[in-house]
Amino acid sequence: MLSCKDVQDILVENEELSLGKKLQFKFHHFICKNCQKIKKQYQVINARLQDIEPQLDDNDKRQINDIINSIKEKK
Amino acid sequence: MSFQFDEHELYAKLQSRDPEVLKDFVENNYKYLKKSLHFSEISSDEYEDIIQDSFAVFFNTLDSFKKQSKLSTYLWGIFYNKLREARRKYGKTPTPVAEVFEEQFQEDGHWLEGIHISDPESWENYSELSSIISDCLKKLPFIHQQVLLMQANSNLDKKEICHNLQINDTNYRQSLSRGRKSLRNCVDGAFQGIENA
Protein backbone atom coordinates (compact mmCIF):
# COMPACT_ATOMS: atom_id res chain seq x y z
CA MET A 1 0.00 0.00 0.00
CA LEU A 2 1.30 3.44 -0.84
CA SER A 3 1.94 5.75 2.07
CA CYS A 4 0.81 9.40 2.13
CA LYS A 5 4.39 10.42 1.40
CA ASP A 6 4.55 8.06 -1.62
CA VAL A 7 1.39 9.64 -3.01
CA GLN A 8 2.84 13.14 -2.60
CA ASP A 9 6.00 12.06 -4.43
CA ILE A 10 3.90 10.72 -7.29
CA LEU A 11 1.97 13.98 -7.45
CA VAL A 12 5.12 15.95 -8.23
CA GLU A 13 7.09 13.48 -10.28
CA ASN A 14 4.62 12.50 -13.05
CA GLU A 15 6.34 9.18 -13.50
CA GLU A 16 4.85 6.33 -15.53
CA LEU A 17 2.94 4.09 -13.17
CA SER A 18 2.12 0.40 -13.31
CA LEU A 19 -1.58 -0.51 -13.27
CA GLY A 20 -1.28 -1.78 -9.69
CA LYS A 21 0.33 1.44 -8.50
CA LYS A 22 -2.24 3.48 -10.42
CA LEU A 23 -5.09 1.71 -8.61
CA GLN A 24 -3.40 2.13 -5.22
CA PHE A 25 -2.76 5.78 -6.01
CA LYS A 26 -6.34 6.41 -7.15
CA PHE A 27 -7.75 4.72 -4.08
CA HIS A 28 -5.44 6.61 -1.74
CA HIS A 29 -6.13 9.84 -3.53
CA PHE A 30 -9.87 9.17 -3.32
CA ILE A 31 -9.86 8.79 0.47
CA CYS A 32 -7.10 11.28 1.30
CA LYS A 33 -8.28 14.87 1.82
CA ASN A 34 -4.77 16.24 2.10
CA CYS A 35 -3.72 14.48 -1.12
CA GLN A 36 -6.62 16.08 -2.99
CA LYS A 37 -5.82 19.51 -1.58
CA ILE A 38 -2.16 19.19 -2.48
CA LYS A 39 -2.92 17.99 -6.00
CA LYS A 40 -5.12 21.06 -6.48
CA GLN A 41 -2.40 23.29 -5.03
CA TYR A 42 0.08 21.97 -7.63
CA GLN A 43 -2.44 22.63 -10.39
CA VAL A 44 -3.00 26.24 -9.24
CA ILE A 45 0.75 26.90 -8.94
CA ASN A 46 1.49 25.39 -12.36
CA ALA A 47 -1.22 27.49 -14.00
CA ARG A 48 0.13 30.65 -12.37
CA LEU A 49 3.73 29.81 -13.30
CA GLN A 50 2.66 29.71 -16.94
CA ASP A 51 0.92 33.05 -16.58
CA ILE A 52 3.81 34.87 -14.97
CA GLU A 53 5.09 37.13 -17.72
CA PRO A 54 7.45 39.96 -16.96
CA GLN A 55 5.95 43.30 -17.90
CA LEU A 56 8.23 45.02 -20.36
CA ASP A 57 8.75 48.65 -19.33
CA ASP A 58 10.18 51.57 -21.32
CA ASN A 59 13.67 50.58 -20.25
CA ASP A 60 13.17 47.09 -21.70
CA LYS A 61 11.78 48.52 -24.95
CA ARG A 62 14.81 50.79 -25.21
CA GLN A 63 17.11 47.84 -24.59
CA ILE A 64 15.35 45.71 -27.22
CA ASN A 65 15.78 48.55 -29.73
CA ASP A 66 19.46 48.87 -28.79
CA ILE A 67 19.97 45.14 -29.33
CA ILE A 68 18.18 45.21 -32.69
CA ASN A 69 20.14 48.30 -33.82
CA SER A 70 23.43 46.72 -32.84
CA ILE A 71 22.80 43.52 -34.80
CA LYS A 72 20.68 44.57 -37.77
CA GLU A 73 23.75 45.10 -39.93
CA LYS A 74 25.78 41.97 -40.47
CA LYS A 75 29.35 42.56 -39.29
CA MET B 1 3.28 39.13 -34.18
CA SER B 2 5.04 35.81 -33.98
CA PHE B 3 6.24 34.10 -37.15
CA GLN B 4 5.90 30.37 -37.67
CA PHE B 5 9.01 29.34 -39.57
CA ASP B 6 10.81 26.08 -39.47
CA GLU B 7 14.33 26.27 -38.02
CA HIS B 8 15.94 26.31 -41.46
CA GLU B 9 13.86 29.29 -42.63
CA LEU B 10 14.34 31.09 -39.34
CA TYR B 11 18.10 30.63 -39.58
CA ALA B 12 18.16 32.05 -43.13
CA LYS B 13 16.00 35.04 -42.12
CA LEU B 14 18.14 35.82 -39.09
CA GLN B 15 21.33 35.43 -41.07
CA SER B 16 20.10 37.92 -43.66
CA ARG B 17 18.94 40.19 -40.81
CA ASP B 18 15.32 40.32 -41.99
CA PRO B 19 14.08 43.32 -39.94
CA GLU B 20 10.65 41.91 -39.00
CA VAL B 21 11.94 38.46 -38.07
CA LEU B 22 14.87 39.96 -36.18
CA LYS B 23 12.52 42.14 -34.12
CA ASP B 24 10.17 39.23 -33.42
CA PHE B 25 13.01 36.89 -32.43
CA VAL B 26 14.68 39.42 -30.12
CA GLU B 27 11.41 40.51 -28.45
CA ASN B 28 10.18 36.97 -27.77
CA ASN B 29 13.47 35.68 -26.45
CA TYR B 30 14.14 38.84 -24.46
CA LYS B 31 10.98 38.14 -22.43
CA TYR B 32 12.13 34.63 -21.57
CA LEU B 33 15.65 35.73 -20.69
CA LYS B 34 14.33 38.56 -18.54
CA LYS B 35 12.00 36.20 -16.72
CA SER B 36 14.89 33.85 -15.92
CA LEU B 37 16.93 36.67 -14.51
CA HIS B 38 14.04 38.36 -12.74
CA PHE B 39 13.80 35.54 -10.18
CA SER B 40 17.55 35.18 -9.76
CA GLU B 41 19.70 37.20 -7.38
CA ILE B 42 21.27 39.21 -10.25
CA SER B 43 20.59 42.97 -10.12
CA SER B 44 18.75 44.68 -12.97
CA ASP B 45 21.91 46.50 -14.14
CA GLU B 46 23.81 43.23 -14.31
CA TYR B 47 21.09 41.41 -16.15
CA GLU B 48 20.77 44.11 -18.80
CA ASP B 49 24.42 43.48 -19.62
CA ILE B 50 23.99 39.70 -19.62
CA ILE B 51 21.04 39.85 -22.02
CA GLN B 52 22.78 42.34 -24.33
CA ASP B 53 25.99 40.27 -24.39
CA SER B 54 24.07 37.05 -25.05
CA PHE B 55 22.36 38.47 -28.14
CA ALA B 56 25.66 39.99 -29.34
CA VAL B 57 27.47 36.64 -29.11
CA PHE B 58 24.52 34.81 -30.68
CA PHE B 59 24.45 37.03 -33.77
CA ASN B 60 28.23 37.33 -34.04
CA THR B 61 28.58 33.55 -34.13
CA LEU B 62 25.46 32.75 -36.17
CA ASP B 63 27.47 31.99 -39.32
CA SER B 64 29.38 29.26 -37.53
CA PHE B 65 26.25 27.79 -35.86
CA LYS B 66 26.34 24.03 -36.56
CA LYS B 67 22.54 23.55 -36.59
CA GLN B 68 22.73 20.68 -34.12
CA SER B 69 20.15 22.33 -31.85
CA LYS B 70 17.28 24.80 -32.14
CA LEU B 71 18.25 28.46 -32.50
CA SER B 72 16.53 29.30 -29.23
CA THR B 73 18.53 26.52 -27.51
CA TYR B 74 21.73 27.98 -28.91
CA LEU B 75 20.80 31.44 -27.59
CA TRP B 76 19.84 30.04 -24.18
CA GLY B 77 23.10 28.09 -24.02
CA ILE B 78 25.07 31.31 -24.56
CA PHE B 79 22.86 33.09 -22.03
CA TYR B 80 23.42 30.45 -19.32
CA ASN B 81 27.17 30.54 -19.88
CA LYS B 82 27.08 34.32 -19.38
CA LEU B 83 24.90 33.90 -16.33
CA ARG B 84 27.26 31.33 -14.82
CA GLU B 85 30.19 33.71 -15.38
CA ALA B 86 28.30 36.52 -13.65
CA ARG B 87 27.31 34.31 -10.72
CA ARG B 88 30.92 33.22 -10.28
CA LYS B 89 32.20 36.79 -10.57
CA TYR B 90 29.82 38.19 -8.00
CA GLY B 91 29.92 35.10 -5.80
CA LYS B 92 26.14 34.79 -5.77
CA THR B 93 24.71 32.06 -3.58
CA PRO B 94 21.09 30.93 -3.59
CA THR B 95 18.87 31.24 -0.57
CA PRO B 96 17.43 27.74 -0.19
CA VAL B 97 13.90 27.24 1.07
CA ALA B 98 13.89 24.94 4.08
CA GLU B 99 12.89 21.41 3.15
CA VAL B 100 9.78 21.12 5.29
CA PHE B 101 8.26 18.38 3.17
CA GLU B 102 9.63 15.51 5.28
CA GLU B 103 8.32 17.13 8.43
CA GLN B 104 4.71 16.58 7.33
CA PHE B 105 4.95 12.79 7.68
CA GLN B 106 5.53 10.15 10.31
CA GLU B 107 8.37 7.67 9.85
CA ASP B 108 6.02 5.18 8.16
CA GLY B 109 5.08 7.80 5.54
CA HIS B 110 1.63 8.71 6.91
CA TRP B 111 0.45 12.19 7.75
CA LEU B 112 1.38 13.58 11.12
CA GLU B 113 -1.65 14.13 13.26
CA GLY B 114 -3.05 17.65 12.99
CA ILE B 115 -1.11 18.60 9.86
CA HIS B 116 -2.77 21.59 8.22
CA ILE B 117 -2.81 22.12 4.45
CA SER B 118 -4.31 25.44 3.35
CA ASP B 119 -7.35 25.32 1.11
CA PRO B 120 -6.37 25.63 -2.59
CA GLU B 121 -9.85 26.94 -3.45
CA SER B 122 -8.95 30.14 -1.60
CA TRP B 123 -5.73 30.46 -3.65
CA GLU B 124 -7.37 30.72 -7.03
CA ASN B 125 -9.04 34.08 -6.54
CA TYR B 126 -6.34 35.59 -4.37
CA SER B 127 -4.95 38.52 -6.32
CA GLU B 128 -1.57 38.41 -4.57
CA LEU B 129 -0.93 34.77 -5.46
CA SER B 130 1.42 35.61 -8.35
CA SER B 131 3.50 37.82 -6.11
CA ILE B 132 3.65 35.09 -3.40
CA ILE B 133 4.81 32.60 -6.06
CA SER B 134 7.40 35.12 -7.32
CA ASP B 135 8.76 35.67 -3.81
CA CYS B 136 8.92 31.92 -3.19
CA LEU B 137 10.67 31.31 -6.53
CA LYS B 138 13.39 33.77 -5.51
CA LYS B 139 14.10 31.63 -2.44
CA LEU B 140 14.67 28.43 -4.40
CA PRO B 141 18.14 27.21 -5.35
CA PHE B 142 19.03 28.62 -8.78
CA ILE B 143 18.82 25.34 -10.74
CA HIS B 144 15.46 24.37 -9.20
CA GLN B 145 14.08 27.79 -10.04
CA GLN B 146 15.33 27.72 -13.63
CA VAL B 147 14.08 24.18 -14.28
CA LEU B 148 10.60 25.12 -13.01
CA LEU B 149 10.46 28.29 -15.09
CA MET B 150 11.79 26.71 -18.26
CA GLN B 151 9.52 23.72 -17.89
CA ALA B 152 6.43 25.86 -17.32
CA ASN B 153 7.06 28.69 -19.71
CA SER B 154 9.38 27.92 -22.56
CA ASN B 155 8.90 25.71 -25.55
CA LEU B 156 12.12 23.89 -24.74
CA ASP B 157 11.91 20.15 -24.18
CA LYS B 158 13.62 18.24 -21.37
CA LYS B 159 16.73 17.49 -23.44
CA GLU B 160 17.17 21.16 -24.32
CA ILE B 161 16.64 22.30 -20.72
CA CYS B 162 19.30 19.80 -19.56
CA HIS B 163 21.67 20.98 -22.27
CA ASN B 164 21.19 24.66 -21.41
CA LEU B 165 21.58 24.19 -17.68
CA GLN B 166 24.36 21.62 -18.13
CA ILE B 167 22.62 19.06 -15.97
CA ASN B 168 21.86 15.38 -16.62
CA ASP B 169 18.49 13.67 -16.70
CA THR B 170 18.69 12.60 -13.04
CA ASN B 171 19.55 16.14 -11.89
CA TYR B 172 16.66 17.45 -14.00
CA ARG B 173 14.11 15.13 -12.42
CA GLN B 174 15.48 15.78 -8.96
CA SER B 175 15.50 19.57 -9.46
CA LEU B 176 11.97 19.55 -10.85
CA SER B 177 10.65 17.39 -8.04
CA ARG B 178 12.43 19.25 -5.24
CA GLY B 179 11.63 22.62 -6.82
CA ARG B 180 7.92 21.80 -7.06
CA LYS B 181 7.78 20.53 -3.48
CA SER B 182 9.70 23.50 -2.09
CA LEU B 183 7.60 25.98 -4.07
CA ARG B 184 4.32 24.41 -2.92
CA ASN B 185 5.52 24.29 0.68
CA CYS B 186 6.58 27.91 0.56
CA VAL B 187 3.29 29.10 -0.99
CA ASP B 188 1.29 26.97 1.44
CA GLY B 189 3.29 28.41 4.35
CA ALA B 190 2.54 31.95 3.15
CA PHE B 191 -1.17 31.13 2.96
CA GLN B 192 -1.22 29.64 6.43
CA GLY B 193 0.31 32.91 7.62
CA ILE B 194 -2.50 34.81 5.87
CA GLU B 195 -5.17 32.50 7.33
CA ASN B 196 -3.76 32.93 10.84
CA ALA B 197 -3.44 36.72 10.60
In this prediction, residue A33 carries a pLDDT of: 92
Q: What DSSP assignment string belongs to B117-149?
A: ---THHHHT-TTHHHHHHHHHHHS-HHHHHHHH
In this prediction, residue A34 carries a pLDDT of: 92
In this prediction, residue B91 carries a pLDDT of: 65
Question: Taking a C-beta distance cutoff of 8 angstroms, is the pair B187, A41 a contact?
Answer: yes
For residues B63 and A14, which has the higher predicted lDDT (pLDDT)?
Answer: B63
For residues B35 and B144, which has the higher predicted lDDT (pLDDT)?
Answer: B144
Whether A36 shows a pLDDT value over 60: the answer reads: yes
pLDDT above 70: percentage of residues in chain A? 92
Q: Which residues of B touch A41 (CB under 8 A)?
A: 117-118, 120, 123, 184, 187-188
Nearest to B117 among A34, A45, A53 (CB): A34
Q: Which residues of A touch B110 (CB under 8 A)?
A: 3-5
Closest CA–CA distance from residue A25 to any residue of chain B (Å): 14
Whether A19 shows a pLDDT value over 90: the answer reads: no
CA separation for the pair B182, B188 (Å, rounded) = 10
**Tens digits of per-residue pLDDT, B122-134?**
898 888 898 899 8
Whether A41 shows a pLDDT value over 80: the answer reads: yes
Three-state secondary structure string covering chain A: CCCHHHHHHHHHHCCCCCHHHHHHHHHHHHHCHHHHHHHHHHHHHHHHHHHCCCCCCHHHHHHHHHHHHHHCCCC
In this prediction, residue A74 carries a pLDDT of: 63
Nearest to B184 among A45, A51, A60 (CB): A45
Mean pLDDT confidence for B48-77: 89
Closest CA–CA distance from residue B68 to any residue of chain A (Å): 22
Q: What is the ipTM of this complex?
A: 0.81
Closest CA–CA distance from residue A18 to any residue of chain B (Å): 19
Mean pLDDT confidence for B37-54: 83
Stated pTM of the model: 0.80
User: Does residue A24 sit at the B interface (CB-CB below 8 Å)?
Assistant: no
Question: Taking a C-beta distance cutoff of 8 angstroms, is the pair A74, B14 a contact?
Answer: no
Question: Taking a C-beta distance cutoff of 8 angstroms, is the pair B133, B188 a contact?
Answer: no
Question: Taking a C-beta distance cutoff of 8 angstroms, is the pair B50, B86 a contact?
Answer: yes
Chain B residue nearest residue A13, CA to CA: B177
Are the beta carbons of B187 and A38 separated by less than 8 Å? Answer: no
CA separation for the pair B6, A62 (Å, rounded) = 29
Are the beta carbons of B35 and A56 separated by less than 8 Å? Answer: no
In this prediction, residue A72 carries a pLDDT of: 76
In this prediction, residue B99 carries a pLDDT of: 62
Q: Which residues of B touch A13 (CB under 8 A)?
A: 173, 176-177
Contacts of A50 (CB under 8 A, 6+ apart): B152, B153
In this prediction, residue A38 carries a pLDDT of: 93
Question: Taking a C-beta distance cutoff of 8 angstroms, is the pair B2, B24 a contact?
Answer: yes
Question: Taking a C-beta distance cutoff of 8 angstroms, is the pair A68, B151 a contact?
Answer: no
Query: What stretch of H or E contains B28?
Result: helix B19-38
Mean pLDDT confidence for B10-32: 90
In this prediction, residue B97 carries a pLDDT of: 61
Question: Taking a C-beta distance cutoff of 8 angstroms, is the pair B152, B128 a contact?
Answer: no
In this prediction, residue B120 carries a pLDDT of: 92
Mean pLDDT confidence for B51-74: 90
In this prediction, residue B3 carries a pLDDT of: 67
**Tens digits of per-residue pLDDT, B146-194?**
899 888 876 778 888 898 888 999 999 999 988 999 999 999 999 988 8
**Tens digits of per-residue pLDDT, B72-118?**
889 988 998 888 888 777 665 555 565 667 788 898 889 998 888 99
